[in-house]
Amino acid sequence: MSTNAALAQIFESMADVLELTGANPFRVNAHRRVARVIESLAEDVAAIVRRSPAELTAFEGVGEASAKKIVEFVETGSVAEHGELLAQIPPGLPQLLRVPGLGPKTVRMLWQDVSIDSLAALTAALEAGRLDGLPRLGPKTIANLKESLAFMAQSSERVRLGQAIPVAEAIVAMLAALPGVVQAAFAGSLRRGRETIGDLDVLVATTNAAPVAKAFETMGATIDGSKGAQESRGSAKRGFRSEAHGSPPPLPKVTKVLASGETKVSVRLDNGMQADLRIVEPSAFGAALLYFTGSKEHNVRLRERAIAQGMRLNEYGLFPDDGEAAPQDRGVKPVASKTEESIYKKLGLPWIPPELREDRGECTQPIPADLVSLEDIRCELHAHTNASDGSMSLEELVRAAKSRGFHTIAVTDHSRSSVQANGLSPERLIEHIKAIRAVEAKVGGIRVLAGSEVDIHADGSLDYDDDLLAQLDIVVASPHASLRQEPSKATERLLAAVRHPLVNIIGHPTGRIINGRPGLEPDIAAIIAAAKESNTALEINAHHMRLDLRDSHVRLAVDAGVNIAIDCDVHAPDDFDQLRYGVMTARRGWLPRSLCVNTWDAEQLEGWLRAKRGASTVTTAKPARRKPK
DNA sequence: GCCGTTTTCGGCCCGACTGTTTTCAGTCG
């Protein structure tokens, strides 16, 4: 685990103990906030401490006391106060806070009054009926707790972005098709493009809430016939560049209604996710969308800003602050509420793209005016054919790329060491290059770059000789094996590849699989510095299982002015649709169009590729290229 | 514990829903 992750966990743990021992809730929150700050740091916190410990308190939410603990951790590997806190409670107690429906007050009561100090003890006590009759633990709460424990036992981790968005879109489409629905959208971390999602947040604007709530509770099963649900499914999945590939996911089924009020419904779905619906008046849609998109920290920033300007912000709008609560219930007219833009404007801010709303400076620093967007992407530089482990023939791949409107597609099949992926021997690669030239001429209207996704060996060497690499138009170098290397070795390995004169892009630099494997943990700052120096691009692999580079690393690379490639690592036709996840990750890293090589026109792209290889041994004559259309 | 365009002390975002209790505490987002 990285230093940042370990330290963030310690602050979270301290917050848990403080909460369970009844400390000042603001002190508890202060610890949680420091944990979040550390977790979202792009740079290794140890590096900051080594450079200048005083920098720590420059981060909002980190004060003198926390800075001291951070330094202590970097120097000694632990925080003494953490140990002292842990000694005050049974080790199993914090786990109880993770049980849905159990909060600090109840856990504390269970611990002190009936000696329940672990999940196992809670389970046993529930089964034995020992909790019956305790204050505020009526039969319904008892039943809910049993259900929560059962759910915890079989539920898994957070859901990946690419799994959640199609489901959310199906639900939104179903709701949007209901009569009287003015607007429907998903919000929350899904809209912010986080790599994993805790639950789905859906928002609907209507003046007739009851049927919407009902439809949500049943996922459209009660809609007249199945008209609404069926019709909506056709438009549920919006394919990239207006082409829907594959079939849209069916609507999930509801396994339990967790809460059902006039404006709020929560359900558990058969895919294990929880989905929350909020229903608002059309006039408050913007305020509600802003509120439910979050993040929580971003919202707090906005509210503080509102207060400083004599206003009050809630999910119903931005109101003049008259000192009384709930202005919306007293007929107070909002200053702004209908759109997000209007609210930001009244707060003196530009509209902030959802991906940036993480309290990482978006309210105080200038946002890139040319933040990269899906429409900006004009080429794909990492794609496989059935020559290695792709499903498409060379021609099918090129035609698929052309149909997406790309000016260039790079064919980058695996190199020889990726035996499991049918990597190409040098001889096969030479034949492949010829085939690529032939298909480019045959299909026409799109540039086809002859490339390779070359394995970076554990020692940093590449899988083909330089003479062969020099015959290619583009080289993507990626780590595939030895992904549990020591960080120092991983750093050396990647640095060697970054600095190699024939490498244009480092593919999925860490090799991580979200919810699968952690991948390499190199000194990312060193990689970024070398990439800048060598004019090598770092990839955001857009596949939702990878998203590698991750958002925080992208931000660091952007700050250093490093070029970024957003690529789908295409193996099958549908993989082009992964692009949106890569773009969301890029936006979370504040990537401007100018630093994204996929947004460049063909001339600029090829100029960059040539510049990188100009000093190399490239001597092979290449067939003349058409000008881009 | 953190923070300051009235503040180095005294605040710290705001509301919905549930279950229990009978006016509200606790949890959640």
Chain A residues 283-302 within 7 Å (CB) of strand B:
292, 296, 299-300
Last residue within a domain, chosen from A248, A279, A310: A279
Q: What is the pLDDT of residue A360?
A: 86
Instruction: Point out the nucleotide closest to A99 (alpha carbon to C1′).
Output: B27
Q: What is the pLDDT of residue A40?
A: 75
Query: What would the DSSP string read from start to end of A493-555?
Result: HHHHHHH-TT--EE-STT--BTTTB------HHHHHHHHHHHT-EEEEE--TTT-BS-HHHHH
Q: What is the pLDDT of residue A95?
A: 87
Last residue within a domain, chosen from A264, A279, A294: A279
Instruction: Give the residue nearest to nucleotide B16 (CA to C1').
Output: A264
Q: What is the pLDDT of residue A247?
A: 55
Residue at A275 is within a domain = yes
CA–CA dist A354, A588 (Å, integer) = 9
Average pLDDT over residues A450-464: 94
pTM: 0.79
Q: What's the number of domains chain A is made of? A: 4
Q: What is the pLDDT of residue A135?
A: 86
Per-residue pLDDT band at A422 (split at 50, 70, 90): confident
Same domain, residue pair A297 and A242:
no
A101-115, A193-207, A223-237, A314-328: the lowest-pLDDT one: A223-237
CATH number at residue A337: 3.30.210.10
Most confident of the ranges A121-130, A237-246, A542-551: A542-551
Which positions on strand B lie below 7 Å from a protein C-beta? 1-3, 5, 11-21, 25-29
Q: What is the pLDDT of residue A255?
A: 86
Query: Given a cut of 50, is residue A243 above it in pLDDT?
Result: no
Same domain, residue pair A265 and A316:
no
Q: What is the pLDDT of residue A39?
A: 79
Per-residue pLDDT band at A355 (split at 50, 70, 90): very high
> In this structure, what token pair is assigned to residue A440?
């480019």
Q: What is the pLDDT of residue A233?
A: 33
Question: How many CB atoms neighbour CB A399 within 10 A?
Answer: 18
Same domain, residue pair A80 and A164:
no
Q: What is the pLDDT of residue A242?
A: 30
Do A447 and A440 touch, CB atoms closer than 8 A?
Answer: yes
Same domain, residue pair A406 and A535:
yes
Residue A219: helix, strand or coil by DSSP?
Answer: coil
- A284 DSSP 8-state letter: G
Average pLDDT over residues A471-489: 90
Number of H helices, E strands in chain A: 24, 16
Do A70 and A38 touch, CB atoms closer than 8 A?
Answer: yes
Same domain, residue pair A488 and A610:
yes
Per-residue pLDDT band at A621 (split at 50, 70, 90): very low
Average pLDDT over residues A418-434: 90
CA–CA dist A183, A340 (Å, integer) = 14
CA–CA dist A506, A513 (Å, integer) = 16
Same domain, residue pair A254 and A323:
no
Residue at A629 is within a domain = no
Residue at A193 is within a domain = no
The residue count for chain A: 629
Same domain, residue pair A477 and A555:
yes
Distance A61 CA to B8 C1' (A): 17
Burial class from Cβ neighbours inside 10 Å (0-12, 13-18, 19+) for residue A142 reads middle
Most confident of the ranges A2-11, A99-108, A310-319, A391-400: A391-400
Residue at A91 is within a domain = yes
Same domain, residue pair A221 and A323:
no
Residue at A64 is within a domain = yes
Residue at A367 is within a domain = no
CA distances for A487 relative to A75, A480, A495, A515, A518, angstroms: 19, 16, 12, 20, 12
CATH number at residue A255: 3.30.460.10
CATH number at residue A71: 1.10.150.110
Name residue A537's beta-bridge partners: A505
- Residue listed under structure tokens 């993507």: A476
Per-residue pLDDT band at A612 (split at 50, 70, 90): confident
Same domain, residue pair A222 and A130:
no
Which of the two residues, A198 and A293, has the higher pLDDT score?
A293
Last residue within a domain, chosen from A263, A279, A295: A279
Distance A213 CA to B17 C1' (A): 14
SS3 content of chain A, % helix, strand, coil (to 5): 45, 15, 40
Query: Given a cut of 50, is residue A624 above it in pLDDT?
Result: no
CA–CA dist A561, A576 (Å, integer) = 27
Q: What is the pLDDT of residue A2?
A: 75
Tell me which residue range forms the domain holding A334.
282-356
CATH number at residue A598: 3.20.20.140
Do A552 and A525 touch, CB atoms closer than 8 A?
Answer: no
> In this structure, what token pair is assigned to residue A399?
């035609």
Instruction: Point out the nucleotide closest to A106 (alpha carbon to C1′).
Output: B26
Q: What is the pLDDT of residue A1?
A: 67
User: Whole-number mean pLDDT of chain A?
Assistant: 87
Average pLDDT over residues A337-362: 92
* Angle at A596 (CA atoms; ends A593, A597), nearest 5 degrees: 125
Chain A residues 251-280 within 7 Å (CB) of strand B:
259-264, 274, 276
Same domain, residue pair A479 and A593:
yes
Query: What would the DSSP string read from start to end of A377-434?
Result: --EEEEE--TTTT-SS-HHHHHHHHHHTT-SEEEEEEEBTT-GGGTPBPHHHHHHHHH
Query: Given a cut of 90, is residue A476 above it in pLDDT?
Result: yes
Q: What is the pLDDT of residue A227?
A: 38
Residue at A496 is within a domain = yes
Chain A residues 46-85 within 7 Å (CB) of strand B:
57, 60-67
Same domain, residue pair A297 and A259:
no
Same domain, residue pair A383 and A495:
yes
Residue at A96 is within a domain = yes
Q: What is the pLDDT of residue A627?
A: 36
Query: Given a cut of 80, is residue A240 above it in pLDDT?
Result: no
Chain A residues 140-169 within 7 Å (CB) of strand B:
140-142, 144
Do A311 and A320 touch, CB atoms closer than 8 A?
Answer: yes
CA–CA dist A608, A557 (Å, integer) = 18
> In this structure, what token pair is assigned to residue A242?
């207006």
